[in-house]
Amino acid sequence: MLIEFGRVIPTLRMFDIAKAREFYLGYLGFTVDFEHRFEPELPLFMQVSRGEARLYLSEHHGDGTPGTHVTIEMCGVIAYHAELASKTYHYMRPGLVEQPWGATTLTVYDPFSNWVIFSEPSPN
């Protein structure tokens, strides 16, 4: 029997919808794929994406823990760094880091203390 694994979609906790939208949509350039509430006054659960990267953002108690680290492998991290640097997001100016394991990384911290690390493998 063939065993295959699919996409991993981490769930990150959020505490403020407006700040989450400002960061993930406005700053990182992700889009909302769906939003769900069991009832209008209950917490929001949503999926955001950019390219093949997917993240669940949840207001639900127990969904995710602040301080989670998520690594997203990508191509074009230098261009993405330039894109982020061109924006007027007042809370962050991330840099590029050449890692000893052979990757260039760009780490951002969301308003809820989660780390999102964009990583591009270095050419051999």
Over residues 100-116, the pLDDT tens digits come to 999 999 999 999 999 99
In a domain, 5, yes or no: no
With a CB cutoff of 8 Å and minimum separation 6, the contacts of 28 are: 50, 84, 108, 116
In a domain, 6, yes or no: no
Question: Which residues are registered as beta bridge partners of 3?
Answer: none
In a domain, 110, yes or no: yes
Residue 26 sits in which domain range?
Answer: 11-121
CATH for 78: 3.10.180.10
2 class by beta-carbon count within 10 Å (0-12 exposed, 13-18 middle, 19+ buried): exposed
In a domain, 4, yes or no: no
How does pLDDT run across 41-80, given as a tens digit for each residue? 999 999 999 999 999 999 999 898 889 999 999 999 999 9
Please count the structural domains in the chain: 1
Whether 90 contacts 19, CB under 8 Å: no
Please give the C-alpha separations between residue 121 and each of 3, 9, 49, 59, 108, in angstroms, as whole numbers.
Answer: 26, 20, 21, 33, 18
In a domain, 36, yes or no: yes
pTM over 0.85: yes
Pairing of strands 11-13, 96-99: unpaired
pLDDT score recorded for residue 24: 98
